[in-house]
Amino acid sequence: MRQRAKNPTTWPIAGLALGCLVAFGAGEARALTAQEILNYKGPDRQQMLVKGARKEGKLVIYSSMIINQMLRPLTEAFGKKYPFLEVKYWRGSSGKTFRKVTAEMRANALAADVIEGSGITGRIVKAKIAQPFYSPELKAYPKIIRDPNRVWATTRLRYIGGAYNTKLVAKAEVPQTMEDLLNPKWKGKIAWRAGTSSSGQMIVITTLLLAWGDERTETFLKALAKQNVVPLHMSNRGVVDRVIEGEYWLAIGASAHHPVISARKGAPVAPMLLEPVPTLNATISILKGVPRPHAAMLMVDYLLSVEGQKLLQKQGYLPARPGVPPAEDLRQIVPSLVGKKEFFVSPKALLTTTKKSKKLAKKYFR
């Protein structure tokens, strides 16, 4: 009810007005289109964005970042920087976010200005629903995590590992490889997230398929299925919480930084990395028909800037920007720093392989 929906009658009128202006040669007086705003490179870019955002008055971000750990601190810091903006967030897995925005676009009521997550990238590229944008911050990022078509930009990294309950599992017992999970003592004690693409069940299977090939992966999954790994329908943060409670001994396919963040508060949990360690990049995008392009661009700039990346660092998330290293206690989960083999799963590989992973998951784990 309070959603700021576009008045459907304003568009034709605006179009007509624009047409008249162009016809009378008054082109330079017209307002910029969303496409132009997103790709503006003039020296007055910042002033233009702030001026426009002030009129828009609001920013809505959809993200898969955990609310209390990152999403709320992010929106609070952003709101402090631009106090004229009312900053709203909605948290959902990448799959849920994708379904939500496509539904909104169908209903002609897109509410999100920016969307952020690690499984969302491939989906929006395939659906062709995002628009290219330019940010001066982009050039600081390495090529491997930059999109040549500029419809997404990397905001943070995720190392996928697991977690173990330190009261239930001694450090010496902690599995080091995927095969270690097949030890009969873990039967019924491992949990992972069901569904989705970029965590839990799916990311484990996808990474193995990419790293090991079909045959070895299927042999392994057949054996793993006998371990009665428990599928949970919640975020992988939730799965780690069940490990903290002691409901399960181990979590796999979870973001390795979640147990570290909990350990900061004294929770009996620690991260574990199993080779090959899947690495994912979370990205930010702006969709076609974005309701508030100026505010959206300010958010993109902020999240990619040193200031935004330092906030990630402080909250225990993994910055993607070179020059902003992960926090001290997170170094234990960076594969290259602890001598573990890492495996980068690109957005494209993630999307194309997930189909096969889903089939295998259905075959062995449901």
Partner 1 sequence: MTAGPHKAESTYGAAMAAAGRSLWRKFGVSPVVGALILVLVILIFPPLIFLVKTSLYTTTFTGAFDKFTFGFYGELVNDPLFITSLRNTAVYAMGSATVAILLGALQAWIVERTNTPLRKYVFLVAIISLGIPSVLYTISFLLLLGKTGPVNQLLDFFFATGRDGINVYSMWGMIVIEGIDFAPLAFLLLSSVFRSTDASFEEAAMMSGAGVLRTFRKVTMKLALPGIYALLILIFIRAFESFETPAFVGRPGGIYVLTTNIFENIQVDEPPNFGQAGAFAIALLAIVWVLLYWYNQLSRRAERFQTITGKGYRPRVMDLGPWRYVTAGVLVVLFFVIIGFPLGIVLYASFQPFYEGVTLSGFSTMTLENYYQVFKPGSFRDAIVNTVILGVSTASVVGPFTLLCAWLAVRRYRGAWLLDQLATLPLVFPSIVMSVAFLQVFLESPIPLYGTLLSIIIASSVRYLPYGMRYSYAGVLQIHKELEEAAALAGATQPKTFLRVVAPLVAPALMTCWIFVFLVSTKAVSIPILLSGPDSQVIAVTMFDLWENGQTVELAAVGVSWAVFMTVLSTLFYILARKYGLKFE
Interacting residues with partner 1 (CB under 8 A)? 1-3, 5-6, 8, 60, 62, 66-68, 72, 88-92, 95-96, 98-100, 102-109, 111-112, 126-127, 129, 194-197, 230-235, 237-242, 244-247, 262, 265-268, 366
End-to-end, the C-alpha distance of the chain in Å comes to 40
Query: How far apart are CB 272 and partner 1 at their closest, in Å?
Result: 18
Query: How far apart are CB 99 and partner 1 at their closest, in Å?
Result: 6
Cβ distance to partner 1 smaller for residue 91 or 294? 91
Q: Which residues are CB-contacts of 129 (< 8 A; sequence separation ≥ 6)?
A: 101, 102, 105, 287, 288
Q: Residue 304: how many CA atoms within 13 Å on its side-chain side? A: 25
Cβ distance to partner 1 smaller for residue 58 or 146? 58
Cβ distance to partner 1 smaller for residue 8 or 339? 8
Cβ distance to partner 1 smaller for residue 132 or 231? 231
Q: How far is CA 58 from CA 1, 66, 219, 270, 317, in A?
A: 16, 21, 52, 39, 25
Report, in this order, helix, strand and coil percent for the chain, each rounded to 5.
50, 20, 35
Query: How far apart are CB 268 and partner 1 at their closest, in Å?
Result: 7
Query: How far apart are CB 139 and partner 1 at their closest, in Å?
Result: 32
Cβ atoms of residues 73 and 315 within 8 Å: yes
Cβ distance to partner 1 smaller for residue 68 or 176? 68
Q: Which residues pair with 153 in a beta bridge?
A: 146, 284
Sequence-ordered alpha helix ranges (H) in 84-188: 94-106, 120-127
Query: How far apart are CB 254 and partner 1 at their closest, in Å?
Result: 10
Query: How far apart are CB 83 and partner 1 at their closest, in Å?
Result: 13
Cβ distance to partner 1 smaller for residue 334 or 361? 361
Record the tokens describing residue 79, joined without a space: 């709101």
Q: How far is CA 271 from CA 98, 133, 190, 287, 313, in A?
A: 29, 36, 14, 35, 17
